[in-house]
């Protein structure tokens, strides 16, 4: 517990130290504030956006799209990965499709998705779900395949019911790899979402960043970038805590 608290304190103090160095460099004139504003200038811009309600509106829009898209991609991805990991015939049939579709840049499909789902939230949710789906399938399949076959042999010899085998052997054994895939997927989905919000959107953090660049409101643009960073950190911490609760035997 003490080591975990120390790790959390270090994770909080290191960004604060970076901000202090950034502000010091700005005060000394080492950084051109026309292009890279100081943290205090960005904080003032963020306060103005927050008090006007714009920041909450954009954050809410992005979080809604991210949450729906992440769930729509992660749940079927985990289920498909488990089936592929357990059945070699399904893996042989589906794996080439995953290998062919995964490398396609998901943002390249955004114009097609906009034609099908419209320019509203639907196309952005789907592009996030697609970016999560394949990463989750790949990591879940790897987590199931790497399970030692002796566990299945022992379960078969003792006539273990399928649901107990799944809940006590397959799922616990694959969970570490599944969570690793979810953490990677979450970071990728944030990147894809911001890129999607650059196009034909009137809300979201991506729209805030793009519209601020178009109007040369650099401080507001940095507010959006920092918000994305904070969302990434908080979501990663959330998944880490879920992992600590669901995989207690992996605690340090």
- Is residue 23 in a domain? no
Amino acid 251: pLDDT:
56
- Is residue 136 in a domain? yes
- Is residue 26 in a domain? no
- Is residue 182 in a domain? yes
Left (φ > 0), alpha (ψ -120 to 50) or beta: where does 199 sit? beta
0.95 exceeded by pTM: no
Per-residue pLDDT of the chain (252 residues; tens, 9 = 90+): 566 667 677 777 777 888 888 888 888 877 877 788 888 888 888 898 899 888 999 999 999 999 999 999 999 999 999 889 888 898 888 888 888 888 888 888 888 888 888 888 888 999 999 999 999 999 999 888 887 777 676 777 777 777 777 777 777 778 888 888 888 888 899 889 988 888 878 888 988 999 888 888 888 899 999 899 888 888 888 888 887 887 776 655
DSSP calls for 85-130: HH-HHHHHHHHHHHHHHTTS-GGGGHHHHHHHH-SSHHHHHHHHHH
Among residues 192, 229, 207, 227, which one has the least CA distance to residue 73?
192
The domain that holds 85 is classified in CATH as 1.10.3720.10
Amino acid 3: pLDDT:
66
The three-point CA angle 129-200-126 to 5° equals 10
How many domains does the chain divide into? Answer: 1
| 107 burial level (CB within 10 Å; 0-12, 13-18, 19+) | middle
Q: What is the domain extent for residue 77?
A: 40-250
Neighbours of 164 (CB within 10 A): 11
- Is residue 81 in a domain? yes
Amino acid 10: pLDDT:
75
- Is residue 8 in a domain? no
- Is residue 10 in a domain? no
Instruction: Give the C-alpha distances (Å, rounded to integers) separating 9 from 6, 13, 15, 252.
Output: 5, 6, 11, 16
- Is residue 117 in a domain? yes
Among residues 61, 34, 16, which one has the least CA distance to residue 221?
34
């Amino acid at each position: 517990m003490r080591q975990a608290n120390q790790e959390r304190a270090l994770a909080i103090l290191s960004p604060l130290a970076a901000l202090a160095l950034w502000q010091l460099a700005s005060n000394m004139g080492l950084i051109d504030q026309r292009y890279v504003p100081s943290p205090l200038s960005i904080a003032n811009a963020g306060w103005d956006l927050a008090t006007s309600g714009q920041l909450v509106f954009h954050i809410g829009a992005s979080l809604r799209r991210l949450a729906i898209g992440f769930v729509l991609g992660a749940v079927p991805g985990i289920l498909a990965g488990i089936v592929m990991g357990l059945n070699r015939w399904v893996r042989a049939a589906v794996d080439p499709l995953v290998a062919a579709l995964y490398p396609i840049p998901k943002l390249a499909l955004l114009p097609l998705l906009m034609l099908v789902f419209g320019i509203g939230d639907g196309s952005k949710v789907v592009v996030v779900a697609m970016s999560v789906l394949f990463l989750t399938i790949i990591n879940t399949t790897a987590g199931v395949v790497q399970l030692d076959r002796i566990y299945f042999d022992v379960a078969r010899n003792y006539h273990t019911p399928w649901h107990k085998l799944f809940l006590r052997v397959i799922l616990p054994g694959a969970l570490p790899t599944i969570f690793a895939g979810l953490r990677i997927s979450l970071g990728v989905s944030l990147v894809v979402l911001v890129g999607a919000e650059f196009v034909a959107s009137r809300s979201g953090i991506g729209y805030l960043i793009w519209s601020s660049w178009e109007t040369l409101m650099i401080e507001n643009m940095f507010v959006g970038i920092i918000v994305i960073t904070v969302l990434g950190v908080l979501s990663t911490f959330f998944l880490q805590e879920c992992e600590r609760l669901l995989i207690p035997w992996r605690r340090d």
